[in-house]
């Protein structure tokens, strides 16, 4: 039974989306897509087929950007995307959250804390939060849902774990904006909530699987961006598909080692939110982290690249957090360390790749 059934007095349940970057925008499209959900929806939700048109409210940090989106229904951040007709845009956080049963947090990880400081007290007591952010906070080394939970607990909620989930997977946003087929994972410990996400966000072109390993799904989403920067460096050096695929496999191995040390299940990383997201991020020319790496591989300085890029390159900050956590956990992460050295210690990308290639030859070890 989904929560809106327990509140029959309200006619239209609401999804609030915090953040009007690429993922925030495409999430509004997912919720608004007219989709006969019954054929593939779980049986508990089958009775609701087509009966629940969710309202969507988007909130953006920048008033100018929110105003532009509200008026023109398009965004420079995602060319080709048109905001669904029924979606509202507001710069007023209170208004966005007032009626929201589900809140999507689509804010870059390093900016989440300041937004959630204000947002958490405005949540309805029964509101649930699904994160589409991918990273690990530098200051706290927390995952996105942990940041949200921290605020929920500080406001007295003892059952915050049941109110958070992550929605992740191989989702290059410009493809979602064009309704090209994709698959995602709704991960969380509350099965009722992940099934609700499956039903509310699933569409004819987006297949959502549920998963219980929230730690693994969030870490997979965070760490694939680091490997994608490395993949981009190989592209910048014109190293080819063989090298990039070997890097993907070796990168996956260290992601698994790290994830397991952090309490995740190894097999999560071999699924859609793991190797699936890793593959699309390493190979799609539209990925931001891969593109950043490609610029570095071609000799551009990180500062120069970031200055000319409107979007946040999550992998840069994530590399910092993961290196710090890996030290604490004593996990061997040669690729992540090499990327850290390129990003923050002035190591030449060519030397970094050379260093990775000439590590002592030995038997392959996975996990």
Does the active-site annotation cover 224?
yes
Residue 76's CB: how many other CB atoms inside 10 A? 10
Nearer to its own copies, 6 or 242 (CB): 242
**Contact region for its own copies (CB under 8 A) — 17-25, 78-86, 207-215, 321-329?**
207-215
| Dist. CA 272–CA 259, nearest whole Å | 15
Work out the burial of residue 263: count CB atoms within 10 Å of its CB; fewer than 13 is exposed, 13-18 middle, 19 or more buried: exposed
> Residue 168's beta-bridge partner residues?
185
Among 280, 291, 319, 321, binds its own copies (CB under 8 A): 280
Which of 143, 26, 35, 150 has its CA nearest to residue 87? 26
Segment 173 to 192, residues that bind its own copies, using CB under 8 A: 175-176, 178, 180-183, 185
By rule CB under 8 A, what string of x and - marks binding of each residue 34-73 to its own copies? -----xxxx-------------------------------
Q: For the chain, how long is the longest CA-to-CA vector?
A: 67
Interface pick for its own copies out of 65, 67, 209, 324 (rule CB under 8 A)? 209
Q: Distance from first CA to last CA of the chain, Å, rounded?
A: 39
- Please state the closest distance from residue 316 (CB atom) to its own copies, in A: 22
Residue 246 binding its own copies, by CB under 8 A: yes
Site string for its own copies, 252-271 (x = CB under 8 A): xx--x----------xx-xx
Closer to its own copies by Cβ: residue 55 or 288: 288
Shortest Cβ 251–its own copies spacing (Å): 10
By CB under 8 A, tell whether 202 contacts its own copies: yes
Give least dist CB 364 to its own copies, A.
Answer: 4
**Among positions 283, 288, 319, 323, the unique one binding its own copies when judged by CB under 8 A:** 283
Site for its own copies in 318-337 (CB under 8 A): none
Q: Label residue 304 exposed, middle or buried (CB < 10 Å: 0-12, 13-18, 19+).
A: exposed
Query: In terms of CB distance, is 69 or 230 closer to its own copies?
Result: 230
Helix axes 214-236, 288-297, angle to 10 degrees: 30
SS3 for 186?
strand
Q: Are 333 and 257 a contacting pair, CB within 8 Å?
A: yes
DSSP 66-120: HHHHHHHS--TTSTT----TT-EEES-HHHHHHTEEEEEE-S-HHHHHHHHHHHG
Kindly state the helix (H) or strand (E) to which residue 90 belongs, with its residue range: strand 88-90
* Minimum separation from the CB atom of position 158 to its own copies (A): 27
Cross-strand partners of 104: 17, 130
- Of 145, 150, 77, which is closest to residue 109 (Cα–Cα)? 145
Q: Which residues pair with 83 in a beta bridge?
A: none
Q: Which residue has the tokens 């949540």?
A: 123
Residue 232 makes CB contacts below 8 A (sequence gap 6+) with 287, 289, 290, 291, 292, 293, 294, 295, 296, 297
List 277, 288, 317, 318, residue binding its own copies (CB under 8 A) = 277
* Residue 295 binds its own copies, judged by CB under 8 A: no
Q: Which is nearer to its own copies, 162 or 246 (CB)?
A: 246
Catalytic residue among 55, 224, 244, 327: 224
Residue 165 interacts with its own copies (CB under 8 A)? Answer: no
- Smallest gap from Cβ 156 to its own copies, in A, equals 32
Cβ nearer to its own copies, comparing 271 with 315: 271
Cβ of 89: how many Cβ atoms within 10 Å? 22
Q: Applying CB under 8 A, which of residues 47, 53, 240, 299 lies at the interface with its own copies?
A: 240
Q: How many residues of this chain bind its own copies (CB under 8 A)?
A: 64
Contact status: 342 vs its own copies (CB under 8 A): no
Mapped onto helix, strand or coil, the DSSP state of residue 162 is: helix
Q: Which residues are catalytic?
A: 224
Q: Where along the sequence are the contacts to its own copies (CB under 8 A)?
A: 39-42, 169-172, 175-176, 178, 180-183, 185, 198, 202, 207-212, 238-246, 248-250, 252-253, 256, 267-268, 270-272, 274-277, 279-280, 282-284, 286, 353, 357-358, 360-364, 366-367
């Amino acid at each position: 039974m989904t929560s809106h059934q327990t509140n029959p007095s309200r006619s239209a349940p609401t999804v609030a989306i915090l953040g009007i970057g690429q993922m925030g925008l495409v999430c509004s499209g997912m919720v608004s897509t007219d989709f006969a959900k019954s054929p593939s929806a779980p049986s508990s939700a089958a009775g609701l087929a087509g009966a629940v048109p969710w309202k969507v409210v988007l909130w953006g940090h920048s008033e100018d950007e929110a105003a532009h989106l509200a008026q023109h229904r398009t965004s420079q951040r995602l060319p080709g995307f048109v905001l669904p007709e029924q979606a509202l845009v507001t710069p007023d956080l209170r208004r966005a959250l007032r009626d929201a049963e589900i809140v999507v947090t689509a804010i870059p990880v390093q900016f989440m804390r300041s937004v959630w400081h204000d947002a958490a007290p405005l949540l309805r007591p029964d509101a649930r939060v699904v994160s589409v952010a991918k990273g690990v906070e530098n200051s706290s080394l927390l995952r996105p849902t942990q940041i949200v939970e921290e605020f929920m607990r500080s406001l007295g909620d003892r059952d915050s774990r049941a109110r958070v989930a992550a929605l992740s997977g191989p989702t290059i946003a410009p493809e979602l904006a064009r309704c090209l087929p994709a698959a995602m994972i709704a991960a969380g410990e509350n099965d009722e909530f992940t099934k609700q996400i499956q039903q509310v966000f699933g569409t004819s072109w987006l297949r959502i699987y549920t998963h219980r390993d929230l730690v693994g799904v969030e870490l997979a989403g965070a760490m694939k961006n680091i490997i994608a920067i490395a993949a981009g460096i190989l592209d910048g050096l014109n190293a080819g598909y063989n090298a990039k695929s070997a890097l993907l496999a070796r990168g996956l191995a260290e992601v698994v080692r790290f994830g397991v040390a952090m309490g995740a299940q190894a097999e999560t990383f071999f699924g859609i939110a793991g190797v699936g997201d890793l593959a699309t991020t390493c190979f799609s020319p539209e990925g931001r982290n891969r593109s950043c790496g490609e610029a570095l591989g071609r000799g551009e300085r990180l500062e120069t690249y970031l200055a000319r890029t409107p979007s946040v390159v999550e992998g840069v900050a994530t590399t910092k957090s993961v290196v710090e956590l890996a030290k604490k956990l004593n996990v061997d992460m040669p690729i992540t360390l090499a990327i850290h050295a390129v990003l923050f210690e002035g190591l030449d990308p060519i030397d970094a790749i050379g260093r990775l290639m000439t590590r002592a030859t030995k038997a392959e070890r996975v996990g």
